[in-house]
Amino acid sequence: MEPSSPTRDAHPAEAAPGSEPRSLTCMEVWGGNEPMESAVAVPGLDVHVYSRPYHDEAAGGDVLYVSSCGTGRIARILVADVAGHGEKVADIARVLRDLMRRFINYVDQTAFVFALNRAFAAAATDGRFATAVAATYWSATDCLTATNAGHPRPVWYCAERGAWKILKDDDDPAGEPVSANLPLGVIDLTEYDHITVRIAPGDVVLFYTDSIIEAREPGGQMLGERGLVQMLGDLDAKRPQDLVRQLVDRVAAFRGGQEPDDDLTVLAMVCTGQKPPRPVREKMRSSTLFARALIARLRDGRTPVPWPEVSVVNMLGAFIRPINRRWGGRLREGEVRTGAAARRPR
């Protein structure tokens, strides 16, 4: 058994489909690469998850994590498809969890994404790489920023329009699965673009691994991105607690009942619009967890310390709420914006 972490780790427990999400606590990291069907909540979001390893193994190559920062303003989601199975993937899952802990208090996920890439580049001697999508939600403005590293593109349900679409720049042509960014670990100096959207209560953003869009019907036709969007259009996005299971069942029916050829993971992120409370007890808990992590690092030299991002919006926004609107506050609801390539942090 692994030692407990000064920042909180939670391993998924099976929950009945449609059950109420469990609220993550301060600086908690939840997830892993085990089978799971569960739901968690962070300020502003409910997250519904289904993940099954290939052949119902005890653990697979799909790794997912959800975290909540020390103030409740930052939520982060990571969905990764790691090449391989077994203990090597378990080792990588632990590395990813530690990086989630390390950057749990960062608003800007650029440093986190480059740290992910460096971790896989360091392990590239055995040919190991991963596709991944990392997304950071800033609850003060309902701003979502996603960075895609060779992974299938997320799908977004806009409640105002009542329609699903691929989360992409509106100027990009529609098409089958494409990702401009390279997978993690291919080269060490890769630059990653990001896409930002201001979502609204009732919106849903769906993350998934490639076994969804690469599902084939008995005749050989692949589902693809377009097929996925059409399939989602037949489901009730207003019942997100049932959406993930219904999609998994629809994809299974599309395959004619055949088992998937790989691990299968679906994560639905639902915007609730709830703003984080700021009770004194939560502030004290955050400080205590940070101090414990720092002490543990001094003792063992390994424990990741959840240093806060040194920025005006992150540091002062914790005490002066209007400052929080500097991050994504100029975006209109439903507006999608593509960022310039993220540079390696200095």
pLDDT tens for the chain, 346 residues: list them.
333 455 556 556 555 555 688 999 889 999 999 999 999 999 999 999 999 998 888 888 899 999 999 999 999 999 999 887 666 788 888 999 999 999 999 999 999 998 988 888 776 556 667 889 999 999 999 999 999 988 999 999 999 999 999 998 665 554 444 445 777 877 665 677 889 999 999 999 999 999 999 999 999 999 999 999 999 999 999 898 899 999 999 999 999 988 888 899 999 999 998 887 755 566 667 778 878 888 988 888 888 888 899 999 999 888 888 999 999 888 888 788 876 544 443 3
> For residue 246, what are the contacts with CB-CB under 8 A and spacing of at least 6?
235, 236
Domain contains 220: yes
Nearest C-alpha neighbor of 248 from the set 209, 204, 203, 222: 209
Q: How far apart are CA 303 and CA 5, in angstroms?
A: 8
Cα 227 from chain centroid? 23
Length of the chain: 346
Residue the block writes with tokens 């377009």: 226
What predicted TM-score, i.e. pTM, was given to this entire model?
Answer: 0.88
Asked if 34 and 12 touch (Cβ cutoff 8 Å), the reply is yes
**Is 79 within 8 Å of 133 (Cβ atoms)?**
yes
Q: Is residue 239 part of a domain?
A: yes
Q: Which residue segment(s) compose the domain that 199 sits in?
A: 21-277
Tell me if 309 is assigned to some domain. Answer: no
Whether residue 15 lies inside any domain: the answer is: no
3-state secondary structure at position 72: coil
**210 domain-assigned:** yes
Identify whether 298 is part of a domain.
Answer: no
Kindly tell me the burial class for residue 254, based on how many C-beta atoms sit within 10 Å of its own C-beta (0-12, 13-18, 19 or more). buried
- 3-class state of residue 259 by DSSP: coil
CA-nearest of 31, 52, 55 to 244 is 52
Per the structure, the count of domains in the chain is 1
28 phi-psi bin (left φ>0, alpha ψ -120 to 50, beta other): beta
Asked whether residue 27 is assigned to any structural domain, the reply reads yes
In a domain, 125, yes or no: yes
CATH code, domain with 148:
3.60.40.10
